[in-house]
Structure 1
Amino acid sequence: MYQVLLYYCYTPLASPEQFREEHHRLCLDLDLRGRIIVAAEGLNGTVSGTRENCAAYMAAVQADPRFAALEFKVDEVPAHTFQKLHVRVKSEIVHSSLHHVRPHEKTGQHLSPLEFKALKDRDDVVVVDVRSDYEYNLGRFKNAVTLDIENFRDFPERVERLREFQDKKILTYCTGGVKCEKATAFLLEQGFENVYQLHGGIIKYGIEAGGEDFDGQCYVFDNRVAVDVNSVNPTVISRCHHCQQPSARLINCANPHCNAHLPLCESCGSLLEGACSEACAEHPDKRPYDGTGTYPKLSNHYTPAQGLASYRA
């Protein structure tokens, strides 16, 4: 049996490049696969591996006092959910354009899933989704305010839309919590006072609160694409891009020059061979459609040694 680990931690790292080298070797030794971002502001990752190797990884990370506040969200899966391992140094652990924000110093008040559940429907509360449009179109909390965001870096430009709620408690949420840390820190900087965030995000809410009132599915950044989190009152809110019938099946357009991320039911997927439109279906560069609508990069007989050598090259 395998597991998927979702985690982040805002904490100062004096030597991100050195940390990346050491962390990459740890992941290679444990045969973990996934995407990990290292920055001077901290660590953010999603990896998959066997239960034993994931347990060893979590123990190694949590033994580092810099990550005392790090919390893993753990999901059981039948196999690896990634083809490769990438450990990269970037300027931020989530691309936000808010380089000056320091969530480890000041951020919105954390709410446990049960605290979030108890507050979310009150009249003096507004729930705000800080994720991208393709994520909240697939699934979101009932009555949540969305901000027409194509990428999280657009968030600062959308904050003025929340001014009408400035006298209310603002409860933000995202997939695992990493975006909310910066979003709420920025809201506080902009003069908002009653700012909160769902600790652990949608994934933790599904684990600890049954996902109640989260409509649709939660988009995840691995080969599963989307997962069910609501075991209490589930529903489907997304509709097929082509026929407009309810569909929670998310695909990438088979035309690589389009690559649109959108819902497409199985029937329309077959009809258009995985494309989002007839024009894309007829494009000469259209990728072969295998019925899934996902096109993960193949491993090309990837091995840990080759991975490290190619990175250093």
Structure 2
Amino acid sequence: MKAYQTLLYYCYSPIENAEEFAENHLAFCKSLGLVGRIIVADEGLNGTVSGTPKACQAYMDAVHADPRFAKTDFKVDEVDEPSFVKMHCRYKPEIVHSGLRDPHIIDPTKKTGVHLEPKEFLEMKDRDDVVVLDVRSDYEHKVGHFKNAVRLDIENFREFPEKIKELAKYKDKKILTYCTGGIKCEKASALLLHEGFEQVYQLHGGIIKYGKEAGGKDFEGKCYVFDNRVAVDVNTVNPSVVSTCFNCGTQTTKMINCANPECNEHFTQCDECGWKMDGCCSDACKAHPRKREYDGTGYYVKIPQTVNLSKRKHKKFPAKT
């Protein structure tokens, strides 16, 4: 057993006084010595936390002891060091930003796609009457995805609802949705059902659980995760590399944030280009006066931005050939 563990989980379950819950839950996590990031909303919890095995077990026991979260499915990874620097627990309108907040239309506690366990997903995914749909963002898909998966061109999950019309040609197929840990599929599959898709399924526990229980077979590349590790291996059966360096085009699985905080673009970059470009995606970013010091990881603790990032034009990366 390694010195630390990282827990990935979510639970759709109504929380009264969610803002107060978030404040108290943060204090509880800190009392256990955990670090991580938890989102609390009226609709439930979404978190990744890291700490010693003892602290992680105490946390899981406490969550499961609360009747609202008793069925929470924790994905547990053994890690050499904590996967975060600090502990954050914040209240937000949703536990995953989708813009789908009307419970009369989308309510994951009442109606979602059929949950497939990893081995069921493995058995179904290559059938002729099946379409495997990646509901994650572009940058997540680029570093790793299921072979032959369909994707929508989205930079953030909140764009998924407006893109769903592009899937109309698959309405006579079985749609198998997947994401990192399952949370996005809860709303994506519910929306597909609402839009008239009749045969909708989702990978229970997401890519992470699939790697643990089905060996990650046919998942190409690495799985993007939202902590200091950035991307992790999941395929122990037939692993491959599908992502390429944004700057030189060589194969690499390393994903970083641009060292220019006013860009902060997420992109793949090999180690050679990382040191050559000082952790930046372009010469312009390399010359920026606020450029952060590159240490080879490409991971930076968040700092206040001086520009409106919602108006920033995102770079489009070359498609995999």
- What's the TM-score, normalizing by structure 1? 0.93
Instruction: Tell me the equivalent position of 2:257.
Output: 252
Equivalent of residue 7 in structure 1, options 9, 24, 44 = 9
Tell me by how many angstroms 1:68 deviates: 2.2
* Corresponding position: 1:120 with 2:125: yes
Instruction: Tell me the equivalent position of 2:284.
Output: 279
Q: How many residues align?
A: 298
Instruction: Tell me the equivalent position of 1:241.
Output: 246
Q: Tell me how far apart the structure 2 counterparts of residues 275 and 236 of structure 1 sit (CA, whole Å).
A: 22
- Answer whether contact 1:223 1:296 (CA < 8 A) is retained: no
Instruction: Tell me the equivalent position of 2:59.
Output: 57
Q: Tell me how far apart the structure 2 counterparts of residues 212 and 63 of structure 1 sit (CA, whole Å).
A: 34
Matched letter for residue 170 of structure 2: F
Tell me by how many angstroms 1:168 deviates: 0.5
Q: Tell me how far apart the structure 2 counterparts of residues 296 and 227 of structure 1 sit (CA, whole Å).
A: 20
Tell me by how many angstroms 1:173 deviates: 0.3
Instruction: Tell me the equivalent position of 1:228.
Output: 233
Instruction: Tell me the equivalent position of 1:69.
Output: 71
* Corresponding position: 1:94 with 2:96: yes
Equivalent of residue 130 in structure 1, options 131, 135, 150 = 135
- What's the TM-score, normalizing by structure 2? 0.91
Unaligned runs of 5+ in 2: 304-321
Amino-acid identity (%) = 64
- Answer whether contact 1:83 1:297 (CA < 8 A) is retained: no
Q: Tell me how far apart the structure 1 counterparts of residues 67 and 126 of structure 2 sit (CA, whole Å).
A: 38
Q: Tell me how far apart the structure 2 counterparts of residues 63 and 280 of structure 1 sit (CA, whole Å).
A: 49
- Answer whether contact 1:128 1:173 (CA < 8 A) is retained: yes
Q: Tell me how far apart the structure 1 counterparts of residues 248 and 60 of structure 2 sit (CA, whole Å).
A: 44
Equivalent of residue 43 in structure 2, options 35, 41, 44 = 41
Q: Tell me how far apart the structure 2 counterparts of residues 110 and 126 of structure 1 sit (CA, whole Å).
A: 15
Give 4+ residue runs of structure 1 displaced > 6 Å after superposition.
none
Q: Secondary structure at the match of 1:137?
A: helix
CA offset digits 1:238-272 (Å, max 9, x no partner): 10001111111111111111111101111111111
Q: Tell me how far apart the structure 2 counterparts of residues 280 and 88 of structure 1 sit (CA, whole Å).
A: 31
Equivalent of residue 182 in structure 2, options 177, 185, 188 = 177
Instruction: Tell me the equivalent position of 2:152.
Output: 147
Tell me by how many angstroms 1:64 deviates: 0.9
Equivalent of residue 160 in structure 1, options 160, 165, 172 = 165
Q: Secondary structure at the match of 1:44?
A: strand
Q: Tell me how far apart the structure 1 counterparts of residues 20 and 256 of structure 2 sit (CA, whole Å).
A: 37
Instruction: Tell me the equivalent position of 1:108.
Output: 113
Unaligned runs of 5+ in 1: 299-313
Q: Secondary structure at the match of 1:91?
A: coil
Instruction: Tell me the equivalent position of 1:16.
Output: 18
Q: Secondary structure at the match of 2:151?
A: coil
Q: Tell me how far apart the structure 2 counterparts of residues 17 and 150 of structure 1 sit (CA, whole Å).
A: 28
Q: Tell me how far apart the structure 2 counterparts of residues 113 and 98 of structure 1 sit (CA, whole Å).
A: 27
Matched letter for residue 209 of structure 2: K
Instruction: Tell me the equivalent position of 1:264.
Output: 269
